[in-house]
Structure formats: C-alpha cells, structure tokens
Amino acid sequence: MAPVLALEGVSKRFGAVQALSDVSLEVNSGEVLALVGDNGAGKSTMIKVIAGVGPPDEGEIRWQGRPVTIHSPSEAQSLGIATVYQDLALCDNLDVVGNLFLGNEIRRLGVLDEVAMEKRSRDLLNTLSIKIPSVRIPVASLSGGQRQTVAISRSLLGEPKVVLLDEPTAALGVEQTAQVLDLVERLRAQGLGVILISHNMVDVKAVADRIAVLRLGRNNGVFDARSTTQEEIIAAITGATDNAVSRRRARSEEGE
C-alpha cells in the first residue's frame, strides 16, 4: 500500500539560504514518524511545506499515491492534513467546546447548537481518553498538557489522515508529557499517520516507529526506532559521525 503522504526530492530556497535540498520523507497510516534535527536543519521549513504555508520550489508531494500540490493551509486541510503548531493558538476566554469548534461551529437554525457541540466534544475526548475537568471551563484554567491535548483534539475534528505535531512536548512537565505521548499512541492506534517534530530524544524513542533525521537541509538517514540507539540518532543529528576522528577510524579500519 502506498504511503498516505510522501515527499520526494523537495527543495526550498529562501534568498541565499538553501533551506531544504532534495529531501524525501514518507509516512504511512498507523505510523508515528519522528522528524528530528538540530536548529536550522530544516524542520520548520518541512512543516511549512506539508502544511501548505510555504510550498516547495522543487519536488513532488504524493497523497495516497497520487501527486498533489499544496499551496495553502486550507488545501492541506481538505486533503486531510492537520497541523498543530507549537504555539497552540487557543482562545483563553472561551471554554473547551468553544475552542474545539472555533470556526467550525455546529449550528441549528442558524443558532449555535451548544448541546450537539458539547456532546461531540465529550465523545471525542472520551475516545482519546483525554481527562479534562469539564468541557465547559475556560481553556485558561487548563494545564499545559491539557491545553496541548485540546489543541490536538481540535485538529482531529476535521477527521484528518495525517497529523503534524510541532514540538508537542516542549515546555511540558513529566506527567503532562506522558499524557501527550499517550495521545500520540492513540492517534496511531486509530490508523492516523503522525508526524512528530521534537527535540526530545526520549520522547521520540518512546513513541516513534521510524525516525527521519534532517541535517543542514538534507536527509541524514531514516532509522528504525526500536533497533537504533539514542546515541546513533544524536550522532546523525549533529553529524558527530562525520568528523576527522571518525573518518580516520574508518580509514584505519579499511587499512586493516
């Protein structure tokens, strides 16, 4: 079966900076793909390409096997790509229901159907086993982890096939990080393709199936999360394998 989303030979240039050159990436349904890389490796540019915020200069995007172009966020959404940005952009003064349905309110005779929205919210949060005191309290009173889960749930209302999570565990405590990672696993269990952008190797190792490493705007390997050690991934991220010492060792190994 074709991967739900595949990018091939994607390049993107900003003025004098080659942000991405010839990058390929694919994510399957029911899979968590971690996208890692140091600052400036091109992760953010990659998110923008997939989310439709910054279309690539070159390269092909295939959705369920057929070539597509994504020129705007709404095109990405209508394909079935949901993006959860790092700054969650929730309205603190609205309650959980209000935030979940913001912009997509259910209406009955032109009037907001609060009952239907509340029921749908509770159902959605229950399916994802998200624990929130009440769906009728302002988002301001939720913890960081709960806010993150609300933002992720919000992206799921459009019934996407791929969810793009940008640093979902940054700035979260231990327990809250666990909550969010649990949620990521439940998304996978529901057959969604999840692209997880993270700096945190522990989190990545905990939930990802495959780990794609970007370095200086290029692919630097895709690793199987279970059979790869953290050190190997960090080496790929930092390029630690690619230095004078490692090259010397490689030469001497060849020589023996």
Partner 1 sequence: MTQEKPAGPAGEAQVDPRLLVREEGFAGYLGEFRRRIKGGELGPLPVIVGLVVIWLVFQTLNDRFLSPQNLSNLSVDIVATGLISVGIVFVLLLGEIDLSAGAVSGACAAVLAVLSVGQGWDPLLSMVVAVAVGGAMGLFHGFFFAKIGVPSFVVTLAGMLAWTGFQLWVLGPNGTINLPDGLISNLTDTYFAYVIAAYGLAAAATAGFLLVSLVGNARRRAAGVPSRTVGDIVFRTAVLAVVAFGVAYVLNLYRGLPLALLIFLAVVIVTDFVLRRTKYGRSIFAVGGNIEAARRAGINVAFIRMSVFAISGAFAALGGIFAASRISSASQATGQSNVLMMAIAAAVIGGTSLFGGRGSTYSALLGMLVIQSIASGMALQGVSNAIQFIVTGAVLLAAVVIDSVSRRSQKASGRA
Kindly state whether residue 110 participates in binding partner 1, applying the rule CB under 8 A.
yes
CB 199 within 8 A of CB 170: yes
Q: How many CB atoms lie within 10 A of CB 226?
A: 9
- Smallest gap, in angstroms, from Cβ of residue 103 to partner 1? 3
- Smallest gap, in angstroms, from Cβ of residue 92 to partner 1? 6
Q: Which of 2, 17, 68, 89 binds partner 1 (CB under 8 A)?
A: 89
Kindly state whether residue 98 participates in binding partner 1, applying the rule CB under 8 A.
yes
Kindly state whether residue 173 participates in binding partner 1, applying the rule CB under 8 A.
no
Kindly state whether residue 135 participates in binding partner 1, applying the rule CB under 8 A.
yes
Kindly state whether residue 103 participates in binding partner 1, applying the rule CB under 8 A.
yes
CB 188 within 8 A of CB 12: no
Q: Which is nearer to partner 1, 15 or 103 (CB)?
A: 103
Kindly state whether residue 141 participates in binding partner 1, applying the rule CB under 8 A.
yes
**Distance, CA of 170 to CA of 256 (rounded, Å):** 46
Q: Which residues contact 243 (CB under 8 A, 6 or more apart)?
A: none
Q: Choose the stretch contacting partner 1; rule: CB under 8 A; options: 118-126, 164-172, 188-196, 240-248.
A: 118-126
How far does Cα 157 stand from its chain's mean position? 16
Kindly state whether residue 92 participates in binding partner 1, applying the rule CB under 8 A.
yes
- Smallest gap, in angstroms, from Cβ of residue 248 to partner 1? 51
Q: Which is nearer to partner 1, 59 or 98 (CB)?
A: 98
Q: Which of 78, 134, 190, 229 binds partner 1 (CB under 8 A)?
A: 134
Q: Which of 62, 122, 199, 205 binds partner 1 (CB under 8 A)?
A: 122
Strands 193-197 and 31-37: parallel
- Residues found near partner 1 in the complex (CB under 8 A): 74, 85, 87, 89-94, 98-99, 102-105, 107, 110-112, 114-116, 118-119, 122-123, 125-126, 129-138, 140-142
